[in-house]
Amino acid sequence: MNYRGPKRVRISDKPMPQIQHPEDAIVRVTRSCICGSDLHLYNGNVPDTRVGTTFGHEFTGVVEEIGSEVTKLKVGDHVLVPFNIACGKCVFCKQGLFGNCHESNSQATAVGGIFGYSHTAGGHEGGQAEYARVPYANVGPTVIPPGMDPDDAVLLTDVVPTGYQAAEMGGIQPGDTVVVFGAGPVGIMAARCSWLFGAGRVIIIDKEDYRLEFAKNYAKCEAYNFESDMDDPVVFIKKATDWLGADVCIDAVGAEAAGNAMQTLTGRKLLLQAGSATALHWAINSVKKGGVVSVVGIYGPTDNLVPIGNLVNKGITLRGNQASVKRLLPRLIDHVQNGIIDPKGLITHRIPLEEVADGYRLFSAKLDGCIKPVLIP
Ligand code: NAD
Ligand code: ZN
């Protein structure tokens, strides 16, 4: 695919990717998902997203060619490729912070390299394509275990580890009440994984009824619509928790909520306090004193949305990061193989790569019951 400017993507021919470094591999893509993170790019909200870029950071494929220093893969291997590009050797990778690799993003922003995620994340081409160049091929790409459904494998590149890490960063204690904002694929997976950490009650909040219905079934949680089930999500959550607040709040929305806040100031939700209408604000304001807010929703480098007064006065711990896919993979592959997590249950649409523009429209506008679309080259 080829980004042409906000809300415009199309298919076009590009030169075949080449090995540029001895640790590179070239992968023939077999599946490639569209992610909520791609919508930030699609909407033109990520700095330095250049026209001509190929998006796509959630893909599986077959190794076609390897550089002279690739020892962990061979031609013909069917691999899942974590969305983070990680060197495996820097001070951050050595701590398991593969999403914060110091080498894979020469732009020196906070984030490490990410496939197809603008020049803010290293300017690497993405996997919504027939072929992709995979740097540091000894580190990220992981051979899909025999017998694993490829639809499960492709969701291990991002959604499963991100949802899991959202719950993990929450430091959930047995019996805790966890509130997840955002019932997209990531929020739904975070809700599902919260049970694995011992949550006693899991609540998910969104404005799309079909997603809430899906979340209820898939993640076995309570689900509420912030537009129709409540006036103020903060009051609603307080009321539901004996006025103490949730133990853990997870923000699985990100920058879209910043957009909501702007709409709120001019739109029909004027009753909500100005500046309080983002998932992040709701999370900070509805978590209990001493609670944890875990943020996996993606914000732009210049978004400055934290209600710091409440955060300090309530003694809240605020955590966030890009998921460290490689760190979590062994555990999560196990969970998939043992039937504890069912990633492919999130996939609602299979779309030929040539119809990528329709895929983005569908996922972005939340049409036709879309939860997670996968592109098939
Ligand atoms: P998505 O766009 O499909 O889902 C977002 C959901 O949030 C939508 O259903 C939307 O209706 C809902 N929403 C909007 N405003 C809301 C609000 N104020 N309160 C509650 N819900 C609200 O996206 P996704 O694929 O599920 O991804 C979710 C977020 O996670 C995105 O910001 C994405 O960039 C981010 N993400 C982060 C990582 C990471 O490693 N940290 C990885 C993948 C995705
Ligand atoms: Zn993603």
Query: Which ligand sits nearest to residue 97's alpha carbon?
Result: 1
**Final residue of a structural domain among 320, 337, 365:** 320
Judgement on whether residues 368 and 252 belong to the same structural domain of the protein: no
What 3-state DSSP class applies to 147? coil
Judgement on whether residues 149 and 166 belong to the same structural domain of the protein: no
**Final residue of a structural domain among 279, 295, 320:** 320
What is the reported pLDDT for 104?
94
Q: Whose CA is nearest to atom 4 of ligand 1?
A: 184
What is the reported pLDDT for 262?
41
DSSP sequence for 76-139: T-EEEE-SEE--S-SHHHHTT-GGG-SSS-TT--SS-EEBTSTGGGT-B--SSSSEEEESSTTT
Query: Crossing angle, helix 209-219 and helix 185-196, to 10 degrees?
Result: 30
Share the mean pLDDT of the chain. 93
Judgement on whether residues 60 and 166 belong to the same structural domain of the protein: no
Percent of the chain with pLDDT over 70: 92
The answer on pLDDT for 47 being more than 90 is no
CB–CB of 177/201 below 8 Å?
A: yes
Q: Whose CA is nearest to atom 30 of ligand 1?
A: 297
Judgement on whether residues 120 and 240 belong to the same structural domain of the protein: no
Residue 86 sits in a domain whose CATH number is 3.90.180.10
Judgement on whether residues 102 and 226 belong to the same structural domain of the protein: no
The answer on pLDDT for 106 being more than 50 is yes
Judgement on whether residues 192 and 103 belong to the same structural domain of the protein: no
Pairing relationship of beta strands 25-33 and 372-376 according to DSSP bridges: antiparallel
Mean pLDDT, residues 207-222:
98
State in Å: Cα 72 to ligand 1 middle: 34
pLDDT of 60-105, one tens digit each?
999 999 999 999 999 999 999 999 999 999 999 999 999 999 999 9
The answer on pLDDT for 271 being more than 50 is no
Written as six digits, the tokens of 138 are 């000894």
pLDDT band at 107 (very low <50, low <70, confident <90, very high): confident
State in Å: Cα 244 to ligand 1 middle: 26
Q: Which atom of ligand 1 is nearest to the CA of 166?
A: 41
Judgement on whether residues 316 and 342 belong to the same structural domain of the protein: no
Unique residue bearing structure tokens 């992040």: 280
The answer on pLDDT for 266 being more than 50 is no
Q: Whose CA is nearest to atom 42 of ligand 1?
A: 162
State in Å: Cα 13 to ligand 2 middle: 24
Beta bridge partners of 318: 293
What is the reported pLDDT for 272?
36
pLDDT band at 110 (very low <50, low <70, confident <90, very high): confident
Angle at 76 between CA 70 and CA 82, to 5 degrees: 60
Query: Which ligand sits nearest to residue 297's alpha carbon?
Result: 1
What is the reported pLDDT for 108?
65
Angle at 244 between CA 296 and CA 298, to 5 degrees: 10
Judgement on whether residues 240 and 293 belong to the same structural domain of the protein: yes
**Final residue of a structural domain among 281, 304, 320:** 320
Judgement on whether residues 172 and 92 belong to the same structural domain of the protein: no
What is the reported pLDDT for 267?
38
Q: Report the domain count for the chain.
A: 2
Residue 269: give the domain boundaries: 162-320
Residue 313 sits in a domain whose CATH number is 3.40.50.720
**Sequence-ordered alpha helix ranges (H) in the chain:** 36-42, 91-94, 150-155, 159-169, 185-196, 209-219, 233-240, 255-266, 279-286, 308-314, 325-337, 356-365
Whether the ipTM is more than 0.85: the answer is yes
State in Å: Cα 185 to ligand 1 middle: 8
Judgement on whether residues 329 and 225 belong to the same structural domain of the protein: no
Query: Which ligand sits nearest to residue 283's alpha carbon?
Result: 1
Q: How far apart are CA 257 and CA 182, in angstroms?
A: 9
pLDDT band at 259 (very low <50, low <70, confident <90, very high): low
Q: How far apart are CA 188 and CA 194, in angstroms?
A: 10
What is the reported pLDDT for 8?
97
pLDDT of 300-319, one tens digit each?
766 766 888 999 999 999 99
Judgement on whether residues 222 and 203 belong to the same structural domain of the protein: yes
b/e string for 293-308 if b means 16 or more Cβ within 10 A? bbbbbbbeeeeebbbe
Mean pLDDT, residues 259-267:
43
The answer on pLDDT for 120 being more than 80 is yes
Judgement on whether residues 304 and 336 belong to the same structural domain of the protein: no
Pocket of ligand 1 (CB under 6 A): 35-37, 39-40, 158, 162, 181-187, 205-208, 211, 226, 252-254, 256-257, 260, 278-279, 296-298, 322-323
Q: How far apart are CA 185 and CA 347, in angstroms?
A: 9
